A = this chain, B = another copy of it.
Amino acid sequence: MALEEPSDPIPIIGGTGALGYGLAVRWATAGIGVVIGSRDVARAAQAATRVAEQVPGAAVEGLDNSEAVTRGPIVFLTVPFRAQSETLNNLRGALQSGQTLVDCTVPLAAAVSGKATRSLGVWQGSAAQQAAEMVPEGVTVIAALHSVGAPKLADLSQPIDEDVLVCGDRKADKAPVAALIDRIEGLRAINAGPLEMARIAEQITPLLISVNARYKAHAGLKLTDLETEGHWD
């Protein structure tokens, strides 16, 4: 493991949304501190209170996004695609060189009132590559956690058994992110290659939405025949 115990808290930007909230609940359950960020500090505080109620003993606080990002080295961005650019613009002064931003954004056409089974073409190739263009110098962007269903994360009675595709240009940068993902029971972080592979990883979400609509299911992704033990060491 690249992380020492006790680990740094995890800032979750857009942590009042479904995915961010679900991650907060799971990490809190794993004994990791979380900082829920929102544009609206009152909503952030409210979400933090909900997490604390759901997870006894949780180390959780709710802050303004800009304040939240200062609380830990690895920041998760879980806003909807339509808010991604604006959020990153607002964080330009707050994100510091040496930090890692984990972009979980999926460019669903739903962002412009299109279908959730269709994607928007992002000129850079993917939402994560767009994020990489926008972060301050020295901030590393990793893409991950696009395909994990938010409702399942937030409901601790639901067992999870899913793989998480982690994309980024350097394995050393991906490893600590993978370690955080692996701390959530039932999730397995998979090294999917460089950041440009986010073009594909982000598309798993509309694919699952299409399958789920047909089967009235909450399907997750899993790769078979893959021995992952020791990969990140």
**Residues of A in contact with B, size category:** 35 or more
Q: Which residue on B lies nearest to A206, using beta carbons?
A: B200
Q: How far is the CA of A134 from the CA of B95 in the complex (A)?
A: 51
Is B225's CB under 8 angstroms from A165's CB?
no
Contact A210 B224, CB 8 Å, known A117-B197, A231-B215 = no
Residues of B within 8 A of A217 (CB): 225-227
Known contacts A117-B193, A193-B117, A193-B211: A223-B221 contact under CB 8 Å: yes
CB contact between A220 and one of B190, B199, B225 (< 8 Å): that residue: B225
Residue of B nearest to A149 (CB): B225
* A42 cross-chain contacts in B, Cβ below 8 A: none
The copy count of this chain in the complex is: 2
Instruction: Give Cα A68–Cα B211 distance, bound, in whole angstroms.
Output: 33
Q: Fill in one digit per residue for A208-233: 1 if any B CB lies within 8 Å of its CB, else 0.
A: 10110111011111111111100100
* Any B CB within 8 A of the CB of A191: yes
Q: Say yes or no: A215 contacts B227, CB within 8 Å.
A: yes
| A211 & B226 in contact (Cβ 8 Å cutoff) | yes
The answer to whether the Cβ of A172 comes within 8 Å of any Cβ in the partner chain is no
Q: A214, B227: Cβ atoms under 8 Å?
A: no
Q: Contact between A193 and B214 (Cβ–Cβ < 8 Å)?
A: yes
Within the assembled complex, what's the spacing in Å between the Cα atoms of A221 and B203?
14
